[in-house]
Amino acid sequence: MTDAQLRAANEAELNAMQLDTDPLADDTIARILGPWPAGMPEADAPQWQAIATVNRVIAQWTDNASLHTWQPGDGVPAPIAQALRDYVDAAQALPPWADARKIARAEQLFMEHGALSCLLLFCASLPECYVIPDLSAVLHTSGQLEQHTEYRIRATAAMIFPVMLHGGLTRPQGCGVAQVLKVRLIHATIRNLILHGNPQDAGGRLRSGQVPALALQAGVPVTMYGAMYARGWNLAQQGAPCNQEEQAYTLLTFGYVFLRGMRRLGIGLPPADEEAFLHAWNVIGHILGIDNALMVHNMHQGASLMAQMQERGRASPVTPDPRPALGQALMQTMAQAIPWGPAKAFPPLMTHYLCGTQTAQDLGIDTRAVPWTSKLLFHGLLGTARAIDRLVRLLLPRFSLTRMLARAVSYQFMSRLLMSQTRPLQLPEQLLNPMQEAVASWSDDPRAPAWVNRLEDRLTTTGTWRLHTATAARPQPQGAAHTAPQTPA
């Protein structure tokens, strides 16, 4: 099939997928919440209480083994307990096409290159995720991302680490499947809130019309859930919220965009390794409820599908455009994590470098406003490192100063935004312990000579990289779920 034929076939598939969601998760949440009342629900409506119960219950899903043995505790109404038990039984199995060897290779690659994951997540995956206006519109509702950017970033990492660490998808003591099933239910909750009911029951009434916006009750605190219920939604123009196309697009940002970022830094992987990494994310997508027809298996397919999806998204703008506010919040959060004065302007420059001009423009990232000293430092360091890499690799194929610089910046993001347990979103011990081991293993780059690792220590820390833990925890953002992802993945 030619690229033109593939694009035409994809276009028809994507049009259909805009109204398709996730029947299993949607039906589960509908069983739990039941029918919504007319108008804006009261603050003590049973649906809000049911959502709180679900959040409390799924927090018990700490590892994959817990899914098999989970039983509802005291105080969980029988209908909620049965709906969740049925959901877990139906959703926890890996797809029959899952290749254990490719998954294991993807895990190994993450362990080898995971020190770069924060840089690529913050400067590539998340910015590309905001390009689609409808996705950004959901995130923008009630200002949750702008006000709690750091929390959303940590919540995203709380899904990525469990699925990519050793055994996350395949071993009972892994946490990946459990974490993904939580996220899948949260997506279904978002859809139910915005559409005021089960998307599977919407039929012609909603598919051809609009869910009206509602006035929030005076004097009642605005939660994320209440804001989503009140926001209104035009299905004819926007498709279903968190629909199949949008979720498949977000899957691309975690798999394909990560690999593309590695290539653009000059440290790309062999094709077989790239395909193994994409395969692991396809398995994750299956557990997340994404249609297999929207998955890619190589970088060429990923580039083609992502370009097509972005073109479709840009053709349907949202007014007012929520993307610049999201982009600015992300850039400011990253700048605050960088301790070196001139380098605080690196995030927009790196995002522009990794994602390109169009994505930067979509997010309102104007690198012309960056001080010339920062531009000179950024492009000078990156250009010099890339040039030295090309020369030295004639003798030492694994050498990379670019990788060292990227690791140093990634460490600053990791240590300030992910590794401190004094910040919101405390991680469970089942996840924290393997994360501790993974981060410690990234302290030195085994591909680098000793003098490069010593230079890296001057830019990061001497000795072992560690997560910083504390017993005290700040409260989560109001209305946020324990495992709420920063984006409808």
The mean per-residue pLDDT over the stretch 28-42 comes to 94
* Residue 428 binned pLDDT confidence (cut-offs 50, 70, 90): low
Could you tell me if 60 and 66 are in contact, meaning their C-beta atoms sit under 8 angstroms apart? yes
pLDDT value of residue 470: 45
Could you tell me if 225 and 191 are in contact, meaning their C-beta atoms sit under 8 angstroms apart? no
* Residue 422 token pair: 């004094």
pLDDT of 485 over the 50 cut: no
In whole angstroms, what is the distance from residue 85 CA to residue 13 CA? 32
- Tell the residue number behind the tokens 């004097």, with chain if given: 219
- Tell the residue number behind the tokens 């979720």, with chain if given: 247
Q: Please indicate whether residue 236 or residue 468 has the higher confidence score (pLDDT).
A: 236
pLDDT of 142 over the 60 cut: no
pLDDT of 49 over the 80 cut: yes
Q: Within 13 Å of residue 156, how many CA atoms lie on the same side as its CB?
A: 25
* Residue 217 binned pLDDT confidence (cut-offs 50, 70, 90): confident
pLDDT of 244 over the 80 cut: yes
pLDDT value of residue 148: 67
DSSP string, 355-387: H-HHHHHHTT--GGGS-HHHHHHHHHHHHHHHH
The mean per-residue pLDDT over the stretch 432-448 comes to 88
In whole angstroms, what is the distance from residue 120 CA to residue 258 CA? 6
Length, in residues, of the chain: 489
Crossing angle, helix 256-264 and helix 271-287, to 10 degrees? 150
pLDDT of 480 over the 60 cut: no
Q: Parse the chain into domains and list their residue ranges.
A: 1-489
pLDDT value of residue 5: 62
pLDDT of 250 over the 70 cut: yes
List Cα–Cα distances, 407 to 360, 425, 448, 450, 484, in angstroms. 23, 24, 12, 15, 27
Could you read off the pLDDT of 7-21 as tens digits, one per residue? 766 788 898 899 899
* Residue 150 binned pLDDT confidence (cut-offs 50, 70, 90): confident
3-state secondary structure of 194: helix
Report which of 191, 190, 193, 195 is spatially closest to residue 206, judged by C-alpha positions: 195
The mean per-residue pLDDT over the stretch 118-132 comes to 93
The mean per-residue pLDDT over the stretch 313-320 comes to 89
Compute the chain's Rg from CA coordinates. 22
pLDDT of 479 over the 60 cut: no
Report which of 263, 200, 193 is spatially closest to residue 40, judged by C-alpha positions: 193
The rounded percent of the chain whose pLDDT value lies above 70 is 88
pLDDT value of residue 13: 85
pTM of the model: 0.91
Report which of 98, 414, 118, 406 is spatially closest to residue 276, judged by C-alpha positions: 98
List Cα–Cα distances, 466 to 36, 225, 439, in angstroms. 46, 35, 6
pLDDT value of residue 429: 72
Average pLDDT, the chain: 88
pLDDT of 147 over the 80 cut: no
The segment with the largest mean pLDDT, out of 216-230, 233-247, 287-301, 420-434, is: 287-301
pLDDT of 127 over the 90 cut: yes
The mean per-residue pLDDT over the stretch 201-227 comes to 73
